[in-house]
Structure 1
Amino acid sequence: MTSPSSTELDPLRSTIAQACQVLAERGLADGILGHISLRIDERRLLVRCRGPQERGLAFTTADDIRLVDLDGQAGGAGELDGGYAPPNELPLHTEVLRTRPDIAAVVHAHPPDVVAADLAGITIRPIVGAFDIPGTRLAADGVPVHPRGVLVRDRRLAAEMVASMAGHPVVLLRAHGLTSAAASVEEAVLQAVSVDRIATLSLRVVSAGGELADLPEADMAELPDLGGSFNTATAWRHELARLS
């Protein structure tokens, strides 16, 4: 199979850049930390890199999205020119991609409410129903917690995170943030948004003196699958519209 040229990757660079902006607009990565990657082939991925004019995820452009290989080397001519470098936590992305052939995109973000809820001992549970059907289903399947608040800077630490992830689409990183993995950039970001939303609601309920309770099984059974065109495509158009 012929590898795509740099020009052919331009639409994907734009998609990842917009996704980084969505994370920032949603408050999941409102500073300079966080990154998104997308598998291109067996050895290469596009990932948000940091350049000499780094300003944070809200200001990501397509030029910040560079092609690298699984070892963090340039994946094509000029890809790391101009002072660009992969994130320190690139192994967080590459270890997921190495071990999960079903995954194409990885999001790493630092949502404050997700971190706060976990530190307070609040797990991500299906406390809502039709309020967020994809999020409810994700929570019902379980959102594991990786217990180490470390910078996932090498394959050993990344393998520990992947083990904690245990095949789930999202894993919380204690005192750190979350990692979300999916078949597309859009799905990976929307998963992170749903987990953050449930964490925020959980904190509000507990702060108001309430008790968290899972959605009854009878209600869970009544939640329809609205399909990818609604859950992903329409939801993603909304996220992009929020940017403007």
Structure 2
Amino acid sequence: MGTTTMDLEAVRHDIADACRVMAARGLADGVLGHVSVRVDSEHLLVRCRGPRERGLAFTEPADVRLVNLDGEGDLDGGYSVPNELPLHTEVLRSRPEVRSVVHAHPFAVVAADLAGLAIRPMLGAYDIPGAHLAAGGVPVHPRAVLVRDRRLAAEMVTSMGDRPVVVLRGHGLTSTGDSPAHAVLRAISVDTLARMALAVANAGGTPVDLPDADLAELPDLGSGFTESTAWRHELARLSGAE
């Protein structure tokens, strides 16, 4: 894919929307978290910090900059790439099927992991995409470090394996997808499962996986519903809050 074959301005808007949804959903508080999209084999668009940084909830398309895998590129005007850019670039280097990478700090996901509660397929029709995601396994990266270089990012990628989401212990999560919307919706599902696990544990119960027979009955509702419709809802929530 060449940089001229993609509508970069449209993707900037998609990334800005994704950042704002993450903030609205409580996945990334304050100025933490970022979203990227692969442009070609050497470049990505990524949410950067600028001189008027106000946090993810106020992300504008101008905050999304085109850089190469080493973090060099369109950074005029006082912009800088995220400290954890290698988290994005190492996933893109090693996972050619991934188009978008999201990094977030959802409180419930971190709390559930620290409490020893894994992300398990305990919900059924409540969140069908989340059930299927959890059934495939959500690995945990055991290091609570700032993923600031390729060595540390490679360790995270190893923990992630071929799964779409990895929990970062004492830190947050990294989610992937075909688009920013896809990656953020996966992160929302993981957050939902973590919140439910914490609620069950707080009520004195023990989270239990769905029976295989029930999991097998959960249909694939198709990306038109699970992604397109769900994302329109997220964007409508943003509009309603403004």
TM-score, length of structure 2 as denominator length: 0.97
How much has 1:211 moved relative to structure 2? 1.1
Counterpart amino acid of residue 57 in structure 1:
L
Query: Deviations for 1:42-90, whole angstroms, at most 9, x for unmatched residues?
Result: 100000000011110000000000000000000xxxx210000100000
How much has 1:3 moved relative to structure 2? 2.7
State the 4+ residue runs in structure 1 displaced beyond 3 angstroms. Answer: none
How much has 1:2 moved relative to structure 2? 4.9
1:4 corresponds to 2:1: no
How much has 1:185 moved relative to structure 2? 1.1
Aligned with residue 104 of structure 1, among 99, 104, 123: 99
Counterpart amino acid of residue 144 in structure 1:
P
In the aligned structure 2, how far is the partner of 1:201 from the partner of 1:212? 8
TM-score, length of structure 1 as denominator length: 0.96
1:195 corresponds to 2:190: yes
Aligned with residue 144 of structure 2, among 149, 172, 195: 149
Count of matched residue pairs:
239
In the aligned structure 2, how far is the partner of 1:95 from the partner of 1:142? 21
Would the aligned equivalents of 2:2 and 2:40 in 1 still touch at CA under 8 Å?
Answer: no
For structure 2, the residue ranges without an aligned partner over 5 or more in a row are none
Query: Deviations for 1:97-140, whole angstroms, at most 9, x for unmatched residues?
Result: 00001101000000000000000000000010000000000000
Partner of 1:45: 44
Q: What is the DSSP-based 3-state SS (H/G/I as helix, E as strand, rest coil) of the residue aligned with 2:4?
A: coil
Would the aligned equivalents of 2:2 and 2:39 in 1 still touch at CA under 8 Å?
Answer: no
Distance 1:55 1:5, change over 3 A: farther
Aligned with residue 111 of structure 2, among 116, 138, 142: 116
Distance 1:171 1:45, change over 3 A: same
Distance 1:59 1:153, change over 3 A: same
How much has 1:5 moved relative to structure 2? 8.0
Partner of 2:14: 15
Would the aligned equivalents of 2:102 and 2:176 in 1 still touch at CA under 8 Å?
Answer: yes
Partner of 1:169: 164
Would the aligned equivalents of 2:114 and 2:169 in 1 still touch at CA under 8 Å?
Answer: yes
Partner of 1:34: 33
In the aligned structure 2, how far is the partner of 1:49 from the partner of 1:3? 19
How much has 1:186 moved relative to structure 2? 1.0
Distance 1:130 1:48, change over 3 A: same
1:218 corresponds to 2:213: yes
1:94 corresponds to 2:89: yes
Alignment RMSD (CA, Å): 1.1
Counterpart amino acid of residue 151 in structure 1:
L
Counterpart amino acid of residue 53 in structure 1:
R
In the aligned structure 2, how far is the partner of 1:4 from the partner of 1:50? 25
In the aligned structure 2, how far is the partner of 1:2 from the partner of 1:216? 46
Query: Deviations for 1:176-201, whole angstroms, at most 9, x for unmatched residues?
Result: 00000112111100000000000001
